[in-house]
Amino acid sequence: MFWQQLINGIALGSTYALIALGYTMVYGIIQLINFAHGEIYMVGAFAALVLVTVFKMSIFLAMVLAMVVCLLLGVIIEFVAYRPLRRSSRLSALISAIGVSTFLSTLVLLIFGADAKGFPDDVFPVVQMRIGAAEVSSLQLLIIGVSALLMLGLEFIVHHTKIGKAMRATSQDYTTAALMGVNVNLVISFTFALGSALAAAGGVLVGIYFNAVSFNMGLMAGLKAFAAAVLGGIGSIPGAMLGGVVLGVVEVLGVAAGYSSYKDAIAFAILVAVLMIKPTGLLGQKIQKKV
Amino acid sequence: MIKRISVLILIIFMVSMSVYGAAGTVKIGFMGALTGDVAMFGIPTLEGMKMAVEDVNKAGGVNGQKMVIVEADNRGDKPEAANIAQKFISRDRVAAIVGDPTTGITKVVAPICERNKVVLLSAGAVGTGVVELGQYIFRNTLLDSVAIPPLVDYFVNDVGYKKFAVVTSDNNDFSVSLTQIFKNALKGKKAQIVADEKIKDGDKDFSAQITNIKAKKPDIIFFSGYYTEGALLMKEARKQGLNVNMFGGDGLYSPTLISLGGKAVEGSMVYVGFFPENPSPETAKFIQAFKAKHNGKLPGLFETQGYDAIMMLAEAMKRAKSNDPKKFRDELAKIKDFKGVSGTITIQPNREPIKSPVYLLEIKDGAYKLKTKVDVKMKK
Amino acid sequence: MIGEYLENLVNLVDAYYLQIFVNIGIAIIMALGLNLVTGVTGQLSLGHAAFMSIGAFTGAILTIKLGMPFSLNLICSGLMAALCGVVIGFPILRLSGDYLAIATLGFAEILKVILLNLDITNRALGLSVPLPHTPIPLPIYVWLTVLLVLAAMVLIQNSRFGRALRAIREDEIAAETMGVNTTLYKIQAFAIGAFTAGLGGCLYAHFIAYINPSDFGFSKSVDILNMVVLGGLGSIPGSVLGATLLTTAPEFLRFMERYRMMVYGALLVFLMIFRPNGLLGGVSIRKLVCKALGIKPGPRKPWHRISTRKAGG
């Protein structure tokens, strides 16, 4: 049973990681806690749901289109709600993000209603496999695989491409990067586009995996992803993956040990405990304070 | 300038019209959430209420007055619910408030209604300690403390289940109190609880809980929460190859349980105070009207309770020959064998409702089918 | 006697307005407490509602089990919350910035789960709170507390202690080298913030008459943060304005029916863009008043200056 629970935990953790990756990347570049990220994830899931159920598209095509929708949405949100606040206090941008999040979830509630919706059962072929004493479904493997791939892809973009270099420069010093000829507006738009597309992919996968999409799924997912990102060291891409998986495994093992009523508390307790020992998270860089 | 004056005149005209219109109406406040996390209970309740008001007005209204619903969205927020209750009472001068579908907000609104002597009829609150809050506080829900003991008898004695797995949503007051009632009812019976798992409303992942339950090999899962989590729970159970069924309270009764759960909820059972294929002509009529209005969609529990709440108020007003809450309150308290669409309702002397019989429904081929009918004994 | 007189006085006010006034009062108490922690000291807290829940449950239980006189009850609730503030603040205030934010959020969630699993809080079923034991009507109690908290916050912000807190916000390391015991000061600020939240929670519990652990979740904390940031970080009049605006906004927007919360969200975004430092951020009320009256703002009272010099040393 332990192995089964471990697999449950890794799969759950991967769903957290899927959202946390985009979260942490946006944070890494412009130090914004993007509370609207969870809502973008929710919109992505709904976009795919409409494409699959109304337009009868295959799930893969729907996922790609949902990513495009959210990519645009992310860029628009950045342009409208964050860009005018780039030089103000970070809390102003945080409140703006909360405003966007309220706006989006209410909008989706008005359009789709309050009840959760599910993807059709046959949208993705689910096959159960046995590994030793545990059972794994093809969907679980897909989620684990996709999140790992996305992590590697993001790492590659940030560290080995030209735009990645520009992103890192912007993250280090916004003004200097601009002076050195980096088009920071473009870089930030790109970051949001990438992060939002990732969120949409996460939304679709998680939507299929749990088979439930609802207007209020973004908030809790966003919080857990935020926790996962901080646990791994916010701004660190492998950290988001690690943080997500650790959180998922800890939660599941807590339930397995018979503490299901304390599930959320266990996750946050681990988070706080890690921060006590390592104040910048598992893989976070040490903050050098300027004196 | 002329434009401004004409706008002003128009506004004055409209205001005077609305005041004039108000003189011949009796107002009922809708208390519930239309946005926010509990909107899925508020929206259908209001839908049912609107249909009832239509029917009442088509039949000539009550005591010569047309019935009107005053809407306000409380977002599931308690301070806002209190604001709205005060607004209903001191601004709109409502005769009664219907709602809130959740126990928590009903408990916030109840003292305000009691203070102002306005009837509060909750269409959904099932938790303990609601009607105790005052003489003007009523509800029309199926009480779990009434329904559970005969059902437990049925499952243990007639069906022969011995091992129960219990799943509770522990941030949901309805679920927590239902689990308590269930556990009490199971005491002294030849059956035991082999697994006692907790989830939270809004959770999506139940893999760990199901793995735990599977290891205990129960005969059936008793889930005391709502339909969204119920559907996901069963999906996960089937995914892990756990082939036992689920049963639970009327919180599970919704077409969404089937649309979301699909094949996984085949064989799951819920108990309700009414049944869509109930021969009662009231229910049949309501379902037909509802389907016609909503593209063939079946009504859920909250629609029927919202509908009945309005109908019960209208009935009480007619009997009292008055739309004054101080007068029709007494008639509401005396309602007996009221043929509602959500079941046959009797208000007991302690203002708690009784709905009898209780129907146990089973999901078969993607629809609710009658499994059995148990009679409820009246409490003295 | 006096109680009856006051009761009649309160009854003169329209019940709907009275309801909103009291909600505004409680919101102001909550916002002022968070303003001290986040606005003045610069420590972002996403768990302020947790301290409110401590106050609410302490107050409710003291009334239900002991029937304690309300004024004593109120102080006990505040102290209990302050105690929790110290216990929680001690380990996590070493963290900075967003790490602190998530730690406060984490503690708030942990506390909520614990309260959901205790018998004394009646788990998810929550507690119905009877009327408190006091001759003074509750609305008056709430607004008396608002005035007291307001006065205390003005005194704190203008004191040596308040300037030390601002120094921590501006530059923690500089403050430390200047001899400010930053950890101690941060914990004190946190405890005072928690104390006021406890007062707010106790008043809330008795006014709303029913409480449940889920009422004090993340969204409640965010609501309070919205008030503080929208009003203007560190500005006391700002917090008052923010709390008033955001408590009444849902009522004003009621005519929009289901589109209301959408408009509310958009409004938050546009207000922040329009006034990035908050509505009253960087605005001196004193100067505004002087300008309106057509007089030149004179020099500040001497005790301000003297204490300014002291704090520099």
Q: What is the pLDDT of residues B168-225, one digit of tens each?
A: 999 998 999 999 999 999 998 999 999 999 999 999 999 999 999 999 999 999 999 9
Q: What is the pLDDT of residues C126-184, one digit of tens each?
A: 999 998 888 889 999 999 999 999 999 999 999 999 999 999 999 998 999 988 899 99
Chain A neighbors of B200, CB-CB under 8 A: 263-264
Q: How far is the C-alpha of A175 from the C-alpha of A179, rounded, in Å?
A: 6
Q: Does the structure show a pLDDT above 70 at B5?
A: no
Q: What is the pLDDT of residue B283?
A: 85
Q: Is residue A107 in a domain?
A: yes
Q: What is the pLDDT of residue A20?
A: 95
Facing residue for A114 by CB, picked from B40, B208, B259:
B40
Helix H, strand E, coil C: the string for chain B is: CHHHHHHHHHHHHHHHHHHHHHHCEEEEEEEECCCCCCHHHHHHHHHHHHHHHHHHHHCCCECCEEEEEEEEECCCCHHHHHHHHHHHHHCCCCCEEEECCCHHHHHHHHHHHHHHCCEEEECCCCCCCCHHHCCCEEECCCCHHHHHHHHHHHHHHHHCCCEEEEEEECCCHHHHHHHHHHHHHHCCCCCEEEEEEEECCCCCCCHHHHHHHHHHCCCEEEECCCHHHHHHHHHHHHHCCCCCEEEECHHHCCHHHHHHHHHHHCCCEEEECCCCCCCCHHHHHHHHHHHHHCCCCCCCHHHHHHHHHHHHHHHHHHHHCCCCHHHHHHHHHCCCCEEECCEEEEECCCCCEEECCEEEEEEECCEEEEEEEECCCCCC
Looking at chain A, which subunits does it touch, using at least 3 CB pairs closer than 8 Å as the criterion? B, C
Averaged pLDDT of chain B: 89
Q: Where are the beta strands (DSSP E) in chain A?
A: 128-131, 134-137
Q: Does the structure show a pLDDT above 70 at B13?
A: no
Q: Does the structure show a pLDDT above 90 at B236?
A: yes
Task: Supply the range of the domain harboring residue A108.
Answer: 11-216
Facing residue for B171 by CB, picked from C23, C208, C214:
C214
Q: Is residue A240 in a domain?
A: no
Q: What is the pLDDT of residues C110-124, one digit of tens each?
A: 999 999 999 999 989
Q: Does the structure show a pLDDT above 60 at A88?
A: yes
Q: What is the pLDDT of residue B62?
A: 94
**CA dist list (Å): B96 to B93, B143, B181, B189, B325:** 9, 22, 31, 43, 7
Q: What is the pLDDT of residues A12-54, one digit of tens each?
A: 999 999 999 999 999 988 888 899 999 999 999 999 999 999 9
Q: What is the pLDDT of residues B67-115, one digit of tens each?
A: 999 999 999 999 999 999 999 999 999 999 998 999 999 999 999 999 9
Shortest Cα distance, chain B CAs vs residue C207, angstroms: 9
CB B167 within 8 A of CB B197: yes
Q: Give yes or no for C103 touching A (CB within 8 A).
A: yes
Q: What are phi and psi of B138, to 5 degrees?
A: -130, 170
Q: Is residue A242 in a domain?
A: no
3-class secondary-structure state, position C293: helix
Average pLDDT on A221-230 reads: 92
Size of interface A-C (CB pairs under 8 A): 133
CATH of region C2-312, choose from 3.20.20, 1.10.760, 1.10.3470, 3.80.10: 1.10.3470
Shortest Cα distance, chain B CAs vs residue C183, angstroms: 36
CA nearest to C171 within chain A = A291
Q: What is the pLDDT of residue C311?
A: 38
Q: Where are the domains of chain C?
A: 2-312
CB contact under 8 A, B202 and A216: yes
Facing residue for C107 by CB, picked from A106, A272, A281:
A272
Q: Is residue A190 in a domain?
A: yes
Q: What is the ipTM of this complex?
A: 0.93
Q: What is the pLDDT of residues A93-118, one digit of tens each?
A: 999 999 999 999 999 999 999 999 99
Q: Is the dihedral of CA B225, B228, B234, B239 positive or negative?
A: negative
Residue C279: what residue type? Answer: L
Q: What is the pLDDT of residue B270?
A: 94
Facing residue for B108 by CB, picked from C26, C209, C260:
C209
Q: Give yes or no for C140 touching B (CB within 8 A).
A: no
**CA dist list (Å): A290 to B322, C98, C172, C183:** 77, 18, 10, 18
Q: Does the structure show a pLDDT above 50 at C309?
A: no
Q: Is residue A6 in a domain?
A: no
Q: Does the structure show a pLDDT above 80 at C212?
A: yes
Shortest Cα distance, chain B CAs vs residue C108, angstroms: 15
Q: Does the structure show a pLDDT above 90 at B7?
A: no
Shortest Cα distance, chain B CAs vs residue A262, angstroms: 9
DSSP-derived letter for residue C130 is P
CB contact under 8 A, B73 and C257: yes
Q: Does the structure show a pLDDT above 70 at A287?
A: no
Facing residue for C125 by CB, picked from B36, B87, B173:
B173
Q: How far is the C-alpha of B61 from the C-alpha of B217, rounded, in Å?
A: 56
Average pLDDT on C288-310 reads: 58
Q: Does the structure show a pLDDT above 50 at B19?
A: no
Instruction: Give B300's Cβ-side CA count (13 Å radius).
Output: 24
Q: How far is the C-alpha of B121 from the C-alpha of B141, rounded, in Å?
A: 10
Q: What is the pLDDT of residue A129?
A: 87
- Which residue segments constitute the domains of chain B, with CATH numbers given? 2-142+282-347 (3.40.50.2300), 144-272+359-374 (3.40.50.2300)
